Amino acid sequence: MGWFPSPFDNLLCMLLGISFTVWFTLLLVFIIVPAIFGVSFGIRRLCMKTLIKIFEWATLRIERGAKEKKHLLYKPYTNGIIAKEPTSLEEEIKEIRRSGSSRDLGAASQEFELSDIFYFCRRGMESIMDDEVTKRFSAEELESWNLLTRSNYNFQYISLRLTVLWGLGVLIRYGFLLPLRVTLAFTGVGLLVVLTTLVGCLPNGRMKSFLSEKIHLMCYRICVRALTAIITYHDSENKPKNGGICVANHTSPIDVIILASDGCYAMVGQIHGGLMGVIQRAMVKACPHIWFERSEVKDRHLVAKRLSDHAEDKTKLPILIFPEGELLKSGVHSSAIAPLARASGLCMWAAGIGLWEASFSPAFLFLGLSSGTCINNTSVMMFKKGSFEIGATVYPVAIKYDPRFAEAFWNSSKFGMVNYLLRMMSSWAVVCSVWYLPPMHKEEGEDAVQFANRVKAAIARQGGLVDLLWDGGLKRDKVKDTFKEEQQKLYSKMLVGAQEDRSRS
């Protein structure tokens, strides 16, 4: 007597074996091979269109259901919390006064009234409840529901069909898409390391750079498919060329993958240990990236020199840099990043969605991960004053994510990196648009801050993002004077103009 493998076990093993083979063949044919050649079957776009239709149906269903049950629908941002009416200062104050019916409308009503304060008070309260700046930095709330409960606040039981659909969505996302994507991610990264090491053995020359370009592109494309990112590139004729610096706005850590899958860039960052370090060391064998040892980072001159050397060498790839956002976490000093940031002489700003709370770009993410710290305000300030030592051509790039499919914004205070990646991979897809803007040079007589603002404005305009000059408390005193004056001017024009009339008559 013993344990005999029953025929069922054999059958099971066979089935498993077959399904794995089928799985990998499909993977190879539909995903990896196209990635190698940079073509696409268009399957993803088809899925995208189908999904949009389903989302619209789901949203309508929720709204209908809520109306039936008389639940208050938590309607996302159309105008924000407040029903703001865009009236001017003068109109509103007049109306507040005019509602005192016993008064005569004339010069007398143009004088100061105790009720005038109400206008300013109301404006103030409106802005406390809901303002442009802070609004941008929480995750954009959706008009339509994308079958992810993480982005929906209204989810209560509405109908069986909706719940079934949602359940099906969960099944597909976690049961099918997630394993697929994780496999792809591992494949992509693994291939990158292996192949770049192999290419690194070749002697420097045209062959080597040609091969390394192809390999980098291929592996990044696999990673892009690992996230199911559907990217639309606009204006590819403005793609960054050698000997320049590519600057993009930063929403999420996957920005670098998105850009790098369309062109070859030299990355900037600090060397890590562990898996990251292995990847970095492999990459640098194939083509020159700029990795710094931790000790080197503190030496700003060395950093600046290396960056400018690289940028001046026309045969080298364009440097990819994400301007950092300002991090409002208090108390923690950065030792590593501030010198690097200062030394590279680039100016930073907070542009685009999510930059406020976001951690660093992937290029600088390496720094962030190792030192686990954030910039404090003074570093960013010093940054802005840093001179543009490199003086190379700047190629701005605008990246904009479609929030309907996945929440690309990474709230680094809430989620860690792995958590974020898992969320990305278990969403439907990452849909984004990339615009390559024409190159910009620093003009004569322009200082670094102005140049930075110019570039930032161009990026913001293209991406339809709000161009935020606001520094979040940094320059509060200065703002008080200039902007407040405008309000005061408007108000006084109303009053003083009337007084003059009165004295004349």
Kindly tell me which of 441 and 484 has the beta carbon lying closer to another protein.
Answer: 484
Per CB under 8 A, 137 contacts another protein? yes
Query: Residue 405 carries which side chain, given as an amino acid letter?
Result: F
Binding region for another protein (CB under 8 A) out of 25-33, 57-65, 150-158, 370-378: 150-158
Both tokens of residue 184? 């792809």
Cα distance between residue 350 and residue 166, in whole Å: 36
Q: Which parts of 291-320 interact with another protein (CB under 8 A)? A: none
Cα distance between residue 299 and residue 296, in whole Å: 5
Number of residues that bind another protein (CB under 8 A): 72
Q: Which parts of 68-127 interact with another protein (CB under 8 A)? A: 72-75, 79, 81-83, 95-97, 99-103, 111-118, 120-127
Kindly tell me which of 275 and 496 has the beta carbon lying closer to another protein.
Answer: 496
Name the DSSP letter for residue 440: B
H or E stretch including 261?
A: none
Cα distance between residue 155 and residue 139, in whole Å: 18
CA distances to 60, 146, 419 from 54, rounded to whole Å, are 10, 8, 27
| Degrees to nearest 5, angle at CA 256 with 251 and 261 | 130
State in angstroms the smallest separation of the CB of 93 from another protein: 11
Query: Residue 28 carries which side chain, given as an amino acid letter?
Result: L
Per CB under 8 A, 378 contacts another protein? no
Q: Which parts of 318-357 interact with another protein (CB under 8 A)? A: 328-330
Cα distance between residue 119 and residue 179, in whole Å: 57
Q: 502, 474 in Cβ contact below 8 A? A: no
Query: Residue 62 carries which side chain, given as an amino acid letter?
Result: I
State in angstroms the smallest separation of the CB of 461 from another protein: 19
State in angstroms the smallest separation of the CB of 344 from another protein: 27
Binding region for another protein (CB under 8 A) out of 171-179, 274-282, 293-301, 483-491: 483-491
Per CB under 8 A, 159 contacts another protein? no
Q: Is 335 left (phi over 0), alpha (psi -120 to 50) or beta?
A: alpha
State in angstroms the smallest separation of the CB of 40 from another protein: 35
Binding region for another protein (CB under 8 A) out of 395-403, 421-429, 459-467, 470-478: 470-478
Per CB under 8 A, 183 contacts another protein? no
Other beta carbons within 10 angstroms of residue 164's beta carbon come to 10
Kindly tell me which of 84 and 441 has the beta carbon lying closer to another protein.
Answer: 84
Question: Distance of alpha carbon 259 from its chain centroid, rounded?
Answer: 12
Q: Which of 30, 153, 176, 210 lies at the binding interface for another protein (CB under 8 A)?
A: 153
Buried b (16+ CB within 10 A) or exposed e, 267-305: bbbbbbeeebeebbbbbbbbbbbbbbeeebbbebebbbe
Binding region for another protein (CB under 8 A) out of 205-213, 227-235, 360-368, 477-485: 477-485
Per CB under 8 A, 9 contacts another protein? no
Kindly tell me which of 441 and 489 has the beta carbon lying closer to another protein.
Answer: 489
Binding region for another protein (CB under 8 A) out of 45-53, 179-187, 454-462, 466-474: 466-474
Q: Which of 156, 242, 378, 450 lies at the binding interface for another protein (CB under 8 A)?
A: 156
Q: Which of 19, 21, 134, 387 lies at the binding interface for another protein (CB under 8 A)?
A: 134
Per CB under 8 A, 491 contacts another protein? yes
Q: Please give the sequence-ordered ranges of beta strands (E in DSSP) within 346-408, or none if there are none.
A: 393-402
Per CB under 8 A, 426 contacts another protein? no
Per CB under 8 A, 473 contacts another protein? yes
**Closest-CA residue to 229 (of 435, 430, 433, 434):** 430
Kindly tell me which of 341 and 350 has the beta carbon lying closer to another protein.
Answer: 350
